[in-house]
Structure 1
Amino acid sequence: MKIYLALISAVALTLSACSQEPAAPAASAPSEPAASASAEAPAASAPTAPAASEAAHAAASSADTACQTVVEAGDDMKYNKTEINISKSCKEYTITLKHMGTMPKTAMGHDLVIAKSEDVDGVAKDGAAAGAENDFIKAGDERIIAHTKLIGSSEEATVKVDTSKFSAGNKYEFFCTFPGHLAMMRGSVNLID
């Protein structure tokens, strides 16, 4: 009788695996109900512990990323973001720039500079005059709130932005000072609640 029940259970499991509907519980011998109920109990409670752990991890991860972002740029002269939103609760905001292209920085270098919108053109012009040896950044330019170094293929650079340098009522942008890139590589920086 046990062999017969085992064969029926195997066939039912095989058929349910081929079906898109969940399998119906296999018939079991009257002497086995307690064993099957106890075997199912741990399986039902197991998913709740990882789900709670995943929710806690997601909340911690969200808090960790609230004051940081990653911006990518490539050989197509574009950032992958058109805006950076910085929470007013962040005293410091970390931006990592990643160069996803294949060209070296001498041919297709990128940086990320933050300044008031009204200062962008002047900062870029003075940066071009400063030259590649200065990463296209004029030394001591007080209009610049923050900037990364110039990077090329597969490189990355990180800058920490002091958010106290932003003031209400002003508009801010991030942009690339490599000559010729400003027209395509620029976006807004927004302070949000």
Structure 2
Amino acid sequence: MKMIKRTLVMVFAATLFINCGSDKKKEEKTETVTKQEVKKEIPKEKKLGISGNDLMKFNKSKLTVFEGQKVILTLNHTGKMAAKSMGHNIVILQKGVDVSGFAMKAIAASETGYVPQDALADVVAYTKVIGGGESTTIEFDAPAAGTYDFICSFPGHYALMKGKFIVKKN
């Protein structure tokens, strides 16, 4: 009887050991496939839209892409006021750029759409200034992973019209 019990215990233990090992291999294989599938699912380009209105507000405070992705960004002005009085643009700043300092420089850059040409190194991408009922689209490659600020650089708008441009790692 003791012999039968020992044999059953050994068979049970061996079965448990074999099954545990095979499950681990299945999990590893599944995990590898999942990571590969995720990489394949990231599109080469990302279309984004954002709107600004006559109340000096963007409809989004966060835009998200993957690094290296081609970004097609459309800015819509849903208000009615003209660009001279309530113009909007979107300026994506490099990481670490002082938003207030950039906005102060932008005030004097009306001839270049409120994007100071001597501060272009501080800019990832920007649109032209548009008025009510207008839209504009830009294309650019997403920078390195990280969080970037975006603003409307029309005088006085940056305090309310701002957000985060988030670039994720592939």
Is TM (by shorter chain) over 0.5?
yes
TM-score, normalised to structure 2, is 0.68
The answer for the alignment partner of 1:171 in structure 2 is 147
1:88 is displaced (CA, Å) by 3.0
Tell me if 1:83 matches 2:62: yes
1:159 is displaced (CA, Å) by 1.1
Give structure 2 stretches of 5+ with no counterpart.
1-40
Q: Which of 118, 121, 143 in structure 2 is aligned with 1:142? A: 121
One-letter identity of the residue aligned with 2:108: A
1:89 is displaced (CA, Å) by 5.8
The answer for the alignment partner of 2:17 in structure 1 is none
Matched residues in 1 for 2:42 and 2:95: separation? 29
Q: Which of 90, 103, 106 in structure 2 is aligned with 1:112? A: 90
1:126 is displaced (CA, Å) by 1.3
The answer for the alignment partner of 2:132 in structure 1 is 153
CA contact (8 A) 2:87 2:129 kept: yes
Matched residues in 1 for 2:123 and 2:42: separation? 28
One-letter identity of the residue aligned with 1:76: L
Tell me if 1:93 matches 2:101: no
Matched residues in 1 for 2:153 and 2:46: separation? 24
CA contact (8 A) 2:68 2:144 kept: no
Whose Rg is larger?
1
Structure 1 64/157 Cα, relative in aligned 2: closer, same or farther at 3 Å? farther
Determine what percentage of the aligned residue pairs are the same residue.
31
Give 3-state SS (helix, strand or coil) of 1:123's partner: helix
One-letter identity of the residue aligned with 1:153: G
TM-score, normalised to structure 1, is 0.60
Matched residues in 1 for 2:109 and 2:60: separation? 27
Give 3-state SS (helix, strand or coil) of 1:177's partner: coil
One-letter identity of the residue aligned with 1:167: A
Quick one: higher RCO (CA 8 Å, sep 6+), 1 or 2?
2
Give structure 1 stretches of 5+ with no counterpart.
1-61
One-letter identity of the residue aligned with 1:191: V
Tell me if 1:103 matches 2:78: no
Q: Which moved more, 1:177-186 or 1:118-127?
A: 118-127
The answer for the alignment partner of 2:163 in structure 1 is 187
Tell me if 1:71 matches 2:50: yes
Matched residues in 1 for 2:93 and 2:76: separation? 20
1:162 is displaced (CA, Å) by 1.8
Q: Which of 130, 133, 141 in structure 2 is aligned with 1:162? A: 141
Question: How big is the alpha-carbon RMSD for the aligned residues of Structure 1 and Structure 2?
Answer: 2.2
Q: Moved runs in structure 1, 4+ residues, more than 3 A? A: 62-66
More strand by share: 2
Tell me if 1:129 matches 2:108: yes
